[in-house]
Every structure is written in structure tokens, then in C-alpha cells.
Chains A and B, each alone.
Chain A
Amino acid sequence: MTPRRSALLFVLDATGGSGVVYRVAVYLQHLVRQLRTTAGLTRRARIEVLIADHTSAQIVTIDDLLTMAASVAFDAAPFGLHPNTITAMVQTMPYEGGGFHVFFLLTRDLAANWEAELPALHQMVASVTGLCCGPLAPPATATRLSKEPGGTRVVNPLDRIRIQFDSIAAWLSRDFGDPPVAPPLPDVVPVPTGWSGGAELPGAAPTPPAPMHPRPATHPTAQWRILEPTDRTDSVPHSEHTHQPGSAGWSMIAASRRGKLHAHEGTYRDDAYALGSADGWNFIAVADGAGSCRLSRVGAHIATTAAIAALQAAATAMAVQVALASDAPGFPIPRHHAQGLEVIQQHLAHSLHAAQRAVEAEARRRAIPVRDLSSTLLVLAHYPTAHGDQVLAGGQIGAGQILLVENDHQFRPLGEANVGFYSGETIFVPMPSSSELERCVWATWLPTPWLVLVMTDGIADDLYPPARQVPVLIQGITGVLRAHPADQHLLDLIAYEKRDSADDRTLAVLYRPEVM
């Protein structure tokens, strides 16, 4: 028979500003660790830590608590926490036969109309303890919120929080832990008290006992988690795939999937792609939203769709330029190839401009800094002429790769990624100047390629050393293109496991179905 377990839910109110939230998080982490080492407690109660604001609540691991507290609480939020986020969360949590005991660590007053939610919450849980952490949290609110046996605790000034938490730890250990039989073995060496820094302790041993640092026998216990985002604003699917017939017998497939880091943190995929064709041209755009920017997934989507729209609008003019430059019979004015390519390059630069303008317009519409929408952008334009040769043109802002594949073992990169001295440094849309944009584009005449691949750095960074890894990718793609539906298989293909490969992955392939 499965033993009954209660649930101890510690709700950290993230709305009170970084200073107080972080301080409370430090003590909360200590408290939970203390409880977890209490003999028998986790047999009788599971412990959950939630970070919550006025719209959402999220379960966090104790190891990530400080990082999360720091990242969610830089500024005081416009509204306080609303208990309905917790009621909703409790409803979704497993019930193991014991009661729910909720501890609200309030860092400011609750959101308006919070009392309407109170009866539902009180009915659902065994106890509610309200702790006022800091001067912005009114004791009257905590009192009203509380339901015995925890009661209300006021921790102001914050320096007293440890005392309150110790008292809670003692109460929970008594109620949920085993009766004490022997003290648990410490995993650290006890530190003598009284160190004031600088001065040597009188009588202190010159060589202290060596601490034990148990090393994991096999691999560390760290596990990647798969979490859903709690904030559903501007949601995007965790994966997508598309097949699109192109011009002149060519075809395009693309697939994109959320990386391990986003899944671990419960955030959305930041990569995006768009495909298009018009007047004999095939177009591909992929983008990777900047990891440090809040709405970069929105920027990545806008940048790719705006670039493709701009290229489609210019397709006729670009086709005329290619025809003029290719000295085709029927065109009376012979032109040098390079001249035609300059104009094509200008159209590519224009598509990057268009992406930039669209991102800036979105930032104005949302009244947010344009930096919040930052992403890389890679654009490919392909035009097969009637004579069998092709124009390939591209533009690249930031990391990622466009790869020309001539056969199953010959390949070469087209264009150049803008990367810095260190990994993780690159540039983004929006870029500072037009002249820089013009340096990001290229165009070339080529015999018929076998495949052209456009990818974000989530895949490109896994292709080192290229001589060994790219053939593996080409072999995989060849298999995908012979299967049906190819785009679905491409999505499966990019789900490979690799150490140090945790970013979103997006790959688009331009190919001719008849030669596959």
C-alpha cells in the first residue's frame, strides 16, 4: 500500500523587486535543504517551491531557485501576486492522500480582488501560512490569507527571516519527520565560530581536517527537464515542419525544434523559418532569436517572413537581371555576369533592410526596445536558369550557416558567420548601419548544386570538425529526402542527442526531388 503523503508548497512572491525577492530566495533555499535532510520528512511530505506573480506560477527546483529568483524579479511588478494562480496550480498537482500546506512568502501586497479567491483556496488546502517578508507586505493581508495551523508570521526587518524559517523548519520536522534517533552526518566540516576575517584565530589548527567531496561514481545526477512555459503570451509550437514545392522543379523542406535549454527552463523556441518562391526563384530564411532577449522569438518570426516577402516582391526584377546577365539568346544587350550579380546582391541587402524595418515597426507597436526582438537572420535566394547554371545569393546577419553540397562528400560554406573571439558572441537584426548590411550579402553563379542547406547555429555548431561531421549530416538528409513525408522525417533527424548541444535547431533544405 502506498503511504499517504502531504505536500508542502512554498510560494515565493516574485513581485516585490529583486532585492527582497532574492534575499528571501536565499533563505528559502536553505530552509528547503534543511527539510530535505530531516529524517523521514520526504516519506511523509513532498516539498515543492513555486515562484509566482499576478498571472502565473511556476515550479522550480531548489537548485535553480536563486537563478530564477534573480531572473524574474529585477523590478517591482505593476501588480502583486494573485492567489488564483496558486489555486489553479494546486488543482493540477498530484494528490497523494495527505493535505496541501501552502506557505506564501509575500514580498508586497496581493493583487486587487484577491479575497474573492480565498474561499476556494482555503477549501482546497489544509493550511495556509502567510509570511510578510519585508516592509511592502502588509501584515493585515497575511493575516487574512492565513489558515491555521501555520498562522501569520511577520518578517520585518528581513534579517529576522532566518529565525522565522528555523521555527517553521522545527514545526515541520516535528510534524512530518521521524523522531530523532541520531544526528545526520554532515557533508561539510563544521566551521568554528568567531572568524572575523583577516586575523588568525587564536589556537586555530594550522592545517584543518580535509573535507570530503564525494565524487559521483558514474555520471553526475544532473538531468535535463522538459517543462512547459507558464506564460503563454506569444506562444509558438515547440516544433514545426514544412514542405513547399519551389520553382523550376526544385523543392524546399524545413524543420525546427525547441532545444534542451528552453525545455529545461520552460521557455519557448526562439528559432523561426520561412520559405517562398516566385518568378522562378526559391527563397529560404531562417533566424535564431537572441537568447538574452525576451521576445526574440517574435523578432525571429517577423524577420524571416519580412525578408521572404521582400524577396518575393523583388522576384520579377531579379529574374530580369539574371536573364540580362546570362547573355541568353533573345536578350539583345549582353552584360557581364558580375554586373547582374551586383543588382541581385542589392536586392538581398534590401530584404535584410526590410526585415530590420519590420522588426523596428513591431517594437514601436509594442512600445518595447527593439533590442528585445533581436535575432540572427540567414537568407538564401536561388534561381535555376534555362541553361542549367544557377544563381545563388545570400545574406547573413550573425551565427548559422549556409552550406552548398555538391555531392555526398563535397561541400563548402557560402557566406560567413559573424562570430567573435569567444563562442556565443554574434551580431543581430537590427544591425547598426546600412553599410554593414551590404557587407553581409553575396551572390554567385554555380553549376547545378545537389543540395543547399540553411541552418541556425543550433545545428551549425554541431558540425565541428566539418570534415567529419558534415558528411554525417548529408547522409542523414539524403535518407530524409528519399522518405515520405520528408519534412516530418527532417524534424525527426534533427532530434539527435549530442553533448553540449542544447540550443534550438532549425534546418532548411533546397533540393530537386527528381535526382533523389
Chain B
Amino acid sequence: MAMNFDESPSRRLPVYLLLDTSGSMAGAPIVAVNNGVGLLYRELLNNPSSVETVWMSVITFAADAKRQPLTELTHFTPPVLTAGGPTAMGAALKELGRALDTEIIPNVPGGDRKGDYKPLAFLLTDGVPTDEWQTAAEALKKRTVGRLGTFVALGCGDEVKVDVLKAITDKVLLMRDVQGDTLQEFFRWVSASIKQASIAAPRTGTGESLTMMPPPPPTIETI
């Protein structure tokens, strides 16, 4: 005796990656980030819970911000990133806010589908914003509905302004000695965090468990 339910739309765990592709990322850094996104993708594909729930979006920022729409993990293709131009981080934050407004599906009483799980966002930058970023950052912090579950900002290297990142989110990490290996560790940690959230998500909870993350790797400081 078995039931065959239709394949109705799944509940999604939205994950946004905000990646700095400005000129200072050219060369080794952008290669490392490309490798890191690929690594993240492959790691998530090995986790059945992530395969069934994670939807990814990449927002790159340089002269302006470009957003890849939220895409089911199994249909996601890691973008090939190239670097060049200034650091329009404000535009990226604005784009993230727009994505939360337009892409997130909330629970609606009596609705025909279940809403999304709390979204996660990870920002990686090695520089300072070259555009107006405060308005978008404040708007993200002030959201009362459609808030991010977790927003982590990773600053890479000595040029990054920790104060700016702290104004964007409370969860700021700093990688002073940036190497290909250490950046791979960061993406592995992002993968572990997403996997943990994808395991916590389908279980009944207050939603808090989605925001609990493993401690970052030793090469990264928590600010």
C-alpha cells in the first residue's frame, strides 16, 4: 500500500553569495574564489538534504552588481567570475534586498504551497565600497519581514575595512593571511554551514537552529 503524492514545489533554503569581483581581486584571488564556489557546489551536491532544499544565487559586484536568479542546486551552474573595476558593494546590498523582496516565498495561511526557509547570505570582499552603501546596508538591517536568517561577511586581507562590514552585519569574519588554501577552507566552512542549515530546516523548530553555524576554520578570525 503506497501513496503517490504529486511532486509539488519543494520548500527552498535560499542561499545568496555576494562576491567581490573588483579589480583588486584580479589574478590569484579570483581564481581562488572560482575554485571556492566550485568546491561549495560539489560539497553541497554530496549532501542529500542540501540537494533537496538548497537554492543558490550569486550576486557579483564590481562597477555594478549583477544577480543570478535563485536557482535549484541541481540546476545551478557555478559562474566563471572575472575581475575588474571598482567595488560597488552598495549596489550588491541593494540587489540582495531586491532579491529578498521578489524571490522569497513566505508562508501564507491557507496557501497552496509552503514558504521558504530562512535565507542565508555570505559576502566576500577584499576592499572598501566605492559607491554609497550605507542606505542599502541600513535597509537590510531594518527589515522586519523577509529578514535574512544569517548574513556573514568575510573580509580578506589588510585593505578591507572591518567597520564597514560591521555596519552591514553583526557576523563579520576576517582572513588576514589570504591564500588559495585558506579561501578553500572558508568555502568548506560555508558549505558546512549551509549543510547544517539544510539539515535543521526541515525539522520542526523556531527557525533559530537555521542560524547556528559551526565555528569558522582557524585561519579566520571572528570580529
**Cα–Cα distance between A209 and B32 once the two chains are bound (Å):** 11
**A409 smallest CB distance to B (angstroms):** 16
Report B20-53 CB contacts with A as 1/0, cut-off 8 Å.
0001101111111011001101110111111111
The answer to whether B26 and A424 have CB atoms under 8 Å apart is no
The answer to whether B117 and A200 have CB atoms under 8 Å apart is no
**Cα–Cα distance between A219 and B73 once the two chains are bound (Å):** 11
A399-B204 contact given A211-B38, A223-B48, CB 8 Å threshold: yes
Complex interface: stretch among B57-65, B132-140, B210-218: B210-218
B: interface residue count bin: 35 or more
The answer to whether B117 and A196 have CB atoms under 8 Å apart is no
**Cα–Cα distance between A259 and B52 once the two chains are bound (Å):** 14
**A473 smallest CB distance to B (angstroms):** 7
Please indicate the chain B residues that have their CB under 8 angstroms from the CB of A376 in the complex.
204
The answer to whether A496 and B5 have CB atoms under 8 Å apart is yes
The contact of A424 among B49, B196, B207, by CB within 8 Å, is B207
The contact of B8 among A67, A219, A428, A464, by CB within 8 Å, is A464
The answer to whether B192 and A67 have CB atoms under 8 Å apart is yes
**B122 smallest CB distance to A (angstroms):** 16
The answer to whether A222 and B34 have CB atoms under 8 Å apart is no
A201-B202 contact given A421-B115, A493-B2, A496-B3, CB 8 Å threshold: no
**A87 smallest CB distance to B (angstroms):** 30
A464-B112 contact given A67-B199, A476-B1, CB 8 Å threshold: yes
Q: Is residue B17 contacting chain A, with contact meaning CB distance below 8 A?
A: no
Interface residues in A178-218 (C-beta closer than 8 Å to B): 188-201, 204-213, 215-216
The answer to whether B117 and A422 have CB atoms under 8 Å apart is yes
The answer to whether B106 and A18 have CB atoms under 8 Å apart is no
Majority SS at the chain B contact face? loop
The answer to whether A195 and B32 have CB atoms under 8 Å apart is yes
Please indicate the chain B residues that have their CB under 8 angstroms from the CB of A66 in the complex.
188-189, 192, 214
Please indicate the chain B residues that have their CB under 8 angstroms from the CB of A69 in the complex.
214
Interface residues in A285-339 (C-beta closer than 8 Å to B): 288-292
Interface residues in B80-96 (C-beta closer than 8 Å to A): 80, 82-84
A503-B178 contact given A66-B192, A492-B1, CB 8 Å threshold: no
Complex interface: stretch among A22-30, A93-101, A233-241, A272-280: A22-30
User: Can you list 17 residue pairs at the A/B interface with Cβ under 8 Å?
Assistant: A63-B46, A63-B195, A188-B184, A191-B180, A192-B27, A195-B27, A195-B180, A200-B23, A200-B27, A211-B31, A222-B45, A222-B47, A264-B49, A291-B202, A479-B1, A496-B3, A500-B11
Q: Give me the interface of A with B, judged by CB distance under 8 Å.
A: 18-19, 22-23, 26, 29, 63-64, 66-67, 69-71, 158-159, 188-201, 204-213, 215-216, 219-224, 259-261, 264-265, 270, 288-292, 376, 398-399, 416, 419-428, 456-457, 461-462, 464-469, 472-473, 475-476, 479-480, 483, 489, 492-493, 495-496, 498-503
Ranked nearest first, the 4 interchain pairs of A and B with the lowest CB-CB distance are A197-B157, A291-B203, A204-B27, A198-B159
